[in-house]
Every structure is written in structure tokens, then in C-alpha cells.
């Protein structure tokens, strides 16, 4: 009887329909359905659900043969407390990284990256590449020091490795000043539009001595004109192919972790969820070629 049930019933959605077997996997997917500190449009707590749903509707030929190397373990248990979310995310990433595996995290709001980076930095050197319309460098925002607009400032308080932000265009003067003093490279959206090839070259130069890369994609880096549903939409953003050109450069290195954040299905028709899954698929399948797994 159980055989019949398994024949007719489909298990819950997983990213790219991968399995849940941790031991053999190289990449460990989990979701963080958290949006309690979002300052504009709430809803990205449903991001993990939407990204998995839309990932199942797309066939990525380049991922062929990769499925056994990816395991999707589900979502973080729900909390509306940012400290608990960070604590639990830290513990999971710490465990994954300590066993030589690589976390792939689906947000949820951008704050989770703070815990992920701190945990990975315990185990290896890293260079962090962030795609974002914003700098997330406020010291305090809406009476809170730890939220999706301040998390990078909190990481820089105890900076580990080089940090680069790509695609930014929507920030306060205070953040720009702090960023210029404390980030290793800022590639604004304007620079990408004006001289993509030159900035790609600059990035290549900066990464010369970087072996391990962590990629954080805030999907609001994409232009809002593409009907991108995110928690803080911003005009004059990057195109998906511009983001892909950067990923192409990054994938020549060892990607030790990745997150895609801020997908907000409550205002998304599927564009941001589809691109979030695409960016993960592109990155993992390029690793297959370049690193030799």
C-alpha cells in the first residue's frame, strides 16, 4: 500500500526537485522564511516557498548530473525574533561549513547573510560579493541596530576578508561615506550601465588573490521595470544578463556559499522567484565545469 501512495503522491517542493540526502551532497540548501525587520513591503518570509515553486517549473540543462550533489533540507523553524533567526542560521551554516559542505540559502530578508558570513568566516578565508540596490550600511534604522538595512554595517564592525557591493544606487550619504572607507570595492549600478567590461576587469583584478567566494544576491539589484517583486523595489537597476556576466567571473573561483534574498511573492508575478532560482542554477552548474566536481 505504501508503494502505491509513493507512486501517486509527490513529496513537497524542493529546489530544482533535488533530494534531501545530506551525506553525499556538496551543496546544502535551506530556506530562512523571515521578514520581521523589513522596513517597506513585508512578505519575503514566503520567498523560500516561491523560489522552490518556480525552480520546479524550469528545466536547467546545465544542472544535469548535479542533482545528487545538492540536498534541500527545508526551512528554518519560524521565528519573528531577529536574534533567534541569526543564532539558528549561524548554527546551521557553522555545521555545514565545518563538514566541508557549502550552504545555499533562500531568504527571507537580507539580515540572514550576517549570520551566514560570520559562520563561514570561522572555517575559511573568504571574499564576499554582494549584489544589492542598497548598501545596507546604516548604523541604526527605525530604532533597530540589526535589520535588513544595517546588517552589512554590523558585519563590517568585525570585518573578515574583502567585501564588494555591486549594483547599488539607492543609499544615504552616510552609507556612501562609510562604504567608501570600509568596503574594498563599490560598483554602482551607474558604473555597470556605463562601462561593464571595465568594471568586470577591475573585479577580476581584485579577486586575483581570493580563492573562496561567498555570493549574496539581493534580488532588488535587478531593475524594478522587469516586474521584480521584492521588499524594497528600486529603479534603474541591473538587467539579469548584467548580473550573469558578474557571476561568470565569480564562478571561476571556489564558491563556498551563496544566498538569494528579499524575493517577495506577495507582490511578485514570478519574475524575482524565477531569477533567484536561475542565479543559483547558473552558479552551481558553472562550478561543475570550473572546479571539477
Three-state DSSP at 13 gives: coil
- From the list 134, 153, 154, 253, which residue makes contact with Mn ion (rule: CB under 5 A)? 134
Binding status of residue 109 toward Mn ion by CB under 5 A: no
Compute the CA torsion angle 57, 62, 64, 69 (nearest 10 deg).
Answer: -100
Task: Show Cβ contacts of residue 91 under 8 Å, excluding neighbours closer than 6 positions.
Answer: 119
CB of 151 to Mn ion, least distance (A): 10
CB of 83 to Mn ion, least distance (A): 21
- Joined together, the cell numbers standing for residue 251 give 564562478
Kindly indicate which of the ranges 31-39, 49-57, 89-97, 132-140 contains the residues binding Mn ion, using the contact rule CB under 5 A.
Answer: 132-140
CB of 20 to Mn ion, least distance (A): 30
User: Of the two residues 86 and 260, which places its CB atom closer to Mn ion in the complex?
Assistant: 260
CB of 92 to Mn ion, least distance (A): 23
Kindly indicate which of the ranges 4-12, 60-68, 87-95, 212-220 contains the residues binding Mn ion, using the contact rule CB under 5 A.
Answer: 212-220
Near Mn ion in 82-101, by CB under 5 A: none
User: Of the two residues 18 and 221, which places its CB atom closer to Mn ion in the complex?
Assistant: 221
Kindly indicate which of the ranges 30-38, 78-86, 157-165, 219-227 contains the residues binding Mn ion, using the contact rule CB under 5 A.
Answer: 219-227
Task: Show Cβ contacts of residue 194 under 8 Å, excluding neighbours closer than 6 positions.
Answer: none
CA angle 150, 54, 6 (to 5 degrees): 120
Binding status of residue 175 toward Mn ion by CB under 5 A: no
CB of 257 to Mn ion, least distance (A): 19
- From the list 35, 132, 175, 259, which residue makes contact with Mn ion (rule: CB under 5 A)? 132
User: Of the two residues 96 and 187, which places its CB atom closer to Mn ion in the complex?
Assistant: 187
DSSP 216-267: EEEGGGB-GGGT--BSS--SS-B-HHHHHHHHHHHTTSEEEEEEEE-B-GGG
- Joined together, the cell numbers standing for residue 66 give 548535479
CB of 134 to Mn ion, least distance (A): 4
Q: Give CA–CA dist 58/63, Å, rounded.
A: 11
Alpha helices in 23-150 (DSSP H): 47-56, 82-98, 112-121
Instruction: Give residues in contact with Mn ion (CB under 5 A).
Output: 132-134, 218, 220
Amino acid at each position: 500500500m505504501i508503494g502505491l501512495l509513493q507512486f501517486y503522491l509527490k513529496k513537497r517542493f524542493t529546489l530544482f526537485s533535488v533530494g534531501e540526502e545530506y551525506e553525499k551532497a556538496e551543496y546544502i540548501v535551506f530556506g530562512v522564511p523571515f521578514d520581521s525587520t523589513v522596513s517597506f513591503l513585508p512578505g519575503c518570509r514566503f520567498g523560500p516557498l516561491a523560489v522552490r515553486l518556480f525552480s520546479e517549473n524550469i528545466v536547467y540543462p546545465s544542472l544535469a548530473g548535479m542533482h545528487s550533489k545538492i540536498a534541500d533540507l527545508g526551512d528554518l523553524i519560524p521565528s519573528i525574533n531577529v536574534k533567534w533567526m541569526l543564532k539558528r542560521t549561524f548554527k546551521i551554516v557553522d555545521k555545514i561549513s565545518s563538514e566541508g559542505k557549502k550552504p545555499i540559502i533562500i531568504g527571507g530578508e537580507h539580515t540572514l547573510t550576517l549570520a551566514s558570513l560570520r559562520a563561514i568566516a570561522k572555517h575559511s578565508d573568504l571574499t564576499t560579493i554582494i549584489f544589492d540596490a542598497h548598501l545596507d550600511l546604516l548604523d541604526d534604522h527605525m530604532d533597530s541596530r540589526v535589520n535588513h538595512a544595517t546588517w552589512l554595517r554590523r558585519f563590517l564592525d568585525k570585518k573578515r576578508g574583502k567585501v564588494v557591493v555591486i549594483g547599488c544606487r539607492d543609499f544615504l550619504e552616510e552609507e556612501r561615506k562609510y562604504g567608501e572607507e570600509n568596503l574594498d570595492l563599490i560598483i554602482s549600478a551607474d558604473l555597470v550601465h556605463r562601462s561593464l567590461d571595465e568594471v568586470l576587469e577591475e573585479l577580476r583584478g581584485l579577486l586575483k588573490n581570493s580563492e573562496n567566494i561567498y555570493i549574496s544576491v539581493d534580488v532588488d539589484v535587478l531593475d524594478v521595470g522587469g516586474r521584480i517583486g521584492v521588499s524594497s523595489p528600486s529603479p534603474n537597476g541591473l538587467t539579469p544578463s548584467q548580473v550573469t556576466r558578474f557571476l561568470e567571473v565569480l564562478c571561476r573561483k571556489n564558491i563556498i556559499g551563496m544566498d538569494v534574498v528579499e524575493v517577495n511573492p506577495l507582490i511578485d508575478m514570478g519574475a524575482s522567484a524565477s531569477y533567484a532560482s536561475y542565479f543559483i542554477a547558473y552558479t552551481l552548474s558553472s562550478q561543475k565545469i570550473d572546479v571539477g566536481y
